[in-house]
Chain A
Amino acid sequence: MNNDKNYIDSMTTRYVYAATRWMPAKQRKDAARELESLIGDMMEERTGGRVAVAKDIEMVLTELGNPSAFSAKANGQEQYLIGPDLFPKYKTVISIVMMAVAFGITVAMVILMTLGSFSGIFDFLFSWLSSLVSAIVTGAAIVTFIFALAQWRGGALRDGILHTPWSPANLPPLPQNGERIPRWESIFGIVFGVLAMLLFVLFPQLIGGFFKTDGRYVLVPFFNLEIMRQMLPMLLLMFALGIFREFVAFMEGRYTMRLAIVTSISDLISMGLAVVVFGNPQLYSANFFPAVQAVAPELSEISWVFESFGKIFLAVFLFALVLDLLTTLFKALKYRANV
């Protein structure tokens, strides 16, 4: 008899604990007390005055159902990590990101393999798989985090993704030929950005030229690797901005003022960073041009190109950014007139 009472008490406590464990701390104590009182009521109803036995508590708890279901619903059906309105976009974005990352990693690994960086096929497969898994998980986590943040905080981020507040007037017009940004273009941009990041982080020594000396081809790096390493954070920020810009282009699907603003900001910051990074004469390896001259002495006549190579490189880079900024801005303004 005493055993039954102990069993009933212990089962009640265990059920209440399981059911309230995942509730917000504020509600937990109150909900636990209420649930205990409910179980007491149900036991009374069931026994109708006779002494309760072990079987009774089992029947009552079975009737109450799975405690995890109890506490899951207790949080309210409206609580989502990513709600139904955000989900379709989330699904598209996360699949694109995962594909782009998988593609980037695979390309990088194949390049590495052709350069003989792996000791064998198993080494290659293992490295490829482990990089693939960690990169995909990271990519998926970042996308999920952004969407979950939009769901949780709401506000501008959520409105931006959903294009709200909505009225018929801001239904996007069907994109005209020149106005539409093809998906592959943005995806290519993202993949290219990821590849460039990988290249600069993992193998900056590969950016250079092959020169034949003593009958052997030697790879002479173009950049001073020591300085390059110091500049890496700024370079990465530059690529990240570029990827972000492509991502916005992908989401917008056409040239909009929003895209133009994002592009302008990202390009202007990139220009500043480029001046600091590529404008630094120490960034370029002192060994590269002597190596060129050694194989092709006739090039000495245009040695000015080599001497100011950093400046030329920077100028081309800046020109590309200015061009990108102006075209995006121009197209956004042009097509806005059509709305």
Chain B
Amino acid sequence: MAELEELVAGLDLELRRGTLVLCVLSRLTTPQYGYSLVQELSEKGIAIDISTLYPLLRRLERQGICAAEWETSGAKPRKYYQLTEQGRQVYQELKEHWQNIATSISALLEEKS
């Protein structure tokens, strides 16, 4: 039984891993800092490890998908991330791809083989 759970947990992790980027992109249409992202995502049922999110944000920044800026006027300095123009296009396209995938997979899962 424990073995089955472990198997499912591993595959589940694999399944979620690729979708995290899309989830993060969907939140970056407005400026967000790391911790606010974690909170917002987890409120909406998407659990993401902080040690996964930060490297992901840095990678997106490096790829020019989002831009980051330090906001120092508040009580605490915070690094805010937001989609760039290119990032917006990427997000739009990925969103369409996701919707197609979701439709196809749902059809597969509902169909009796």
Residues of chain A whose beta carbon lies under 8 Å from any beta carbon of chain B: 27, 30-31, 33-35, 37-38, 40-42, 45, 63-65, 69-70, 73-76
**Which chain B positions have C-beta within 8 A of A34?**
34, 54, 79
Which B residue's beta carbon lies closest to that of A35? Answer: B54
In the complex, what residues of B have CB within 8 A of residue A31's CB? 54, 58
Residues of chain A with a CB closer than 8 A to B58's CB: 27, 31, 74
* A166 shortest CB reach to chain B, Å: 25
In the bound complex, residues from chain B placing their C-beta under 8 Å from that of A74 are: 51, 54-55, 58
Q: Is B98 an interface residue (CB 8 A)?
A: no
Interface pairs A-B: 9 shortest CB-CB: A41-B35, A70-B51, A74-B55, A34-B79, A73-B55, A38-B35, A37-B78, A65-B51, A40-B76
- Point out the residues of chain B lying under 8 angstroms from A27, CB to CB: 58
Report the separation of the CA atoms of residues A38 and B34 in the bound assembly, to the nearest whole angstrom: 7
Chain B 77-113 interface 0/1 with A at a Cβ cutoff of 8 Å (1 = within): 1110000000000000000000000000000000000
Cα-based distance from A75 to B62 in the complex (angstroms): 12
CB-CB nearest in chain B for A70? B51
User: What residues of chain A lie closer than 8 Å to B34, measured between beta carbons?
Assistant: 34, 38
State A70–B100 Cα separation when bound (angstroms). Answer: 34
B108 to chain A, nearest CB (A): 28
Q: Is B11 an interface residue (CB 8 A)?
A: no
Q: Is B55 touching A64 in the complex (CB atoms < 8 A)?
A: no
Which single member of A37, A75, A76 contacts B77 (CB below 8 Å)? A37
19 contacts between A and B (CB under 8 A): A27-B58, A31-B54, A33-B70, A33-B79, A34-B79, A35-B54, A37-B76, A37-B77, A37-B78, A38-B35, A38-B50, A40-B76, A41-B35, A64-B50, A65-B51, A69-B51, A73-B52, A73-B55, A74-B55
Interface 1/0s, chain B 32-72, versus A by CB < 8 A? 01110001000000000111101100110000000000100
Inter-chain contacts of B78 with A (CB < 8 A): 37
User: How close is B54's CB to chain A, nearest CB, in angstroms?
Assistant: 7
A37-B76, A65-B49 known; A76 vs B35 contact (CB < 8 Å): no
Tell me the smallest distance from the CB of A16 to a CB of chain B, in Å. Answer: 12
CB nearest neighbor in B for A44: B76
Query: In the complex, how many angstroms separate the beta carbon of A277 from the nearest chain B beta carbon?
Result: 53
The residue from B51, B52, B76 contacting A41, defined by CB atoms under 8 A apart: B76
Most buried by A among B54, B76, B77: B54
Question: Complex formed: what's the CA distance from A205 to B76 in Å?
Answer: 77
A231 vs B33: C-alpha distance in the bound complex, in angstroms? 67
Which residues does chain A contribute within 8 Å of B52, judged by CB atoms?
Answer: 73
Residues in A neighbouring B35, C-beta threshold 8 A: 38, 41-42, 45
